[in-house]
Amino acid sequence: MKKLVIAIILISIVFFSVGLSVGVFKFFPYYQLDSLKSIILSEENSTRKYTMDDFVYGVDINSLIDISSVDELKIKRSQLIYYLWNQNDLPQEFPTNIQQNIDVSLFSDLKNLKQIDLIEHKMEFGINSISYMFHPEDSNNKIVFYHQGHGGDFIKGKNTIEFFLNNGYTVQAFSMLLLGINEKPIVETEFGPIILNSHDHLKYLESEKFVPLKLFFEPLVVSLNYLDSHFNFDEYYMVGISGGAWTAMYYSAIDERISQTYPVAGPYPLFIRSNYNQIGDYETEHPQLLEIVNELEAYLMGSFGKDRKFVQIYNKFDSCCWDGEYYKIFESTIKEKVSEFGSGYYDVIIDDTHHQHIISDHALILIKNNMEIK
């Protein structure tokens, strides 16, 4: 009996060790199990998505878009800029810290990599944004701004960075505020000192004189100012995943210098999101922002303009959020609006090749092909 107990204990230790190793070091069958988990979660989601409330399908999309002319679109853009920065024009500043040709071991194995520059912008309350600019050896003279979103450090987007780098694009990679290598400062508020370790905590900084939402966009503004002054890129593109897709979506509405925008697995409009278990985050639920420019208007504003393009990618079987094909509720209306304005391009692509909340290899190829079509 004693030998049997010892044997059971030893076997348990072995199985635990193997399981731990699989989880930590991603040995076989980590990816098989992870894929199975995503499929199961997606199937659970599928029971929810088919219970989408009928009211969603009856919404008058045109009535939600308070833009009927190019002049009104430009007014919307000006109103948004003024709301964020309390001034009529975008900030003209450069990033506060630039370090060229830094050594980053995590990216040392990238092919077609000439050098990495660190670009940091320090803002109010000790909040900063650190991005890396990846220069290719063989360049096509175009740059992609990649935004990781809420998933953590942009190292998690290494596959995306490498893909564009290999295709000749310079890539500037951003993490969401307060994530990755960005600071998590302790700030004084009327409620006492708090540590900002989540973007949802930014709501405690709001005042009549300060709009925290601007912190999501200002690192991009100053980066483009720097690039405009020190480089000669032909075009600026933007790609974002999840929360990074939201950033890309709104930033292209703000700044016409972004010629092509590819939000992947980004949020649906609020009236569709209200059917999900989680409607969104601090920034995506912000009433004042939505009052000035809602998501549908942002799609339109990011699409409009000479040689501008806005292409959304949704994961049909996304295990996290914003799955399904609910884009069909608004897609045709946005396309009609862009066509009426006579300039720009809007489209939606559905990725049905996986069950994860990611930019898949399939989506990367679709994005690249779209970038090359004029």
- What's the rounded mean pLDDT across residues 1-17? 57
CB 127 within 8 A of CB 218: no
Residue closest to 61 by CA, chosen among 240, 328, 248: 328
Whether residue 106 has pLDDT greater than 70: yes
What would the mean pLDDT of 270-281 be, rounded to a whole number? 82
Tokens matching residue 360: 């898949």
Least confident span in 9-23, 276-290, 300-314, 330-344: 9-23
Q: What is the reported pLDDT for 152?
A: 86
Residue 241 pLDDT exceeds 60: yes
Residue recorded with tokens 């092909």: 369
Looking at residue 338, what is its pLDDT? 98
Confidence of residue 153 (pLDDT cuts 50, 70, 90): very high
Top CATH class, 27-372: alpha beta
Other Cβ atoms closer than 10 A to 334: 22
**pLDDT confidence of residue 3:** 60
Q: Is pLDDT larger for residue 279 or for residue 198?
A: 198
Q: What's 52's DSSP letter? A: -
Q: Among 6-20, 37-51, 57-71, 240-254, whose mean pLDDT is lowest?
A: 37-51
Domain residue spans in the chain?
27-372
Helix (H, G, I), strand (E, B) or coil at 39: helix
Give me the residues paired with residue 206 across strands: none
Residue whose C-alpha is closest to residue 311's, from 235, 252, 230? 252
pLDDT tens for each residue of 217-238: 999 999 999 999 999 999 999 9
pLDDT for 36 equals 43
* pLDDT of the residue at 55: 82
- Mean pLDDT over 11-34 rounds to 48
How do residues 67-100 score in pLDDT, each as one tens digit?
999 999 999 999 999 999 999 999 999 999 999 9
19 pLDDT band, cuts 50/70/90, is low
Task: Note the pLDDT of residue 126.
Answer: 97
pLDDT tens digit sequence for 114-135? 999 999 999 999 999 999 999 9
pTM of the model: 0.86
Average pLDDT, the chain: 89
Q: Residue 263: beta bridge partners?
A: 240
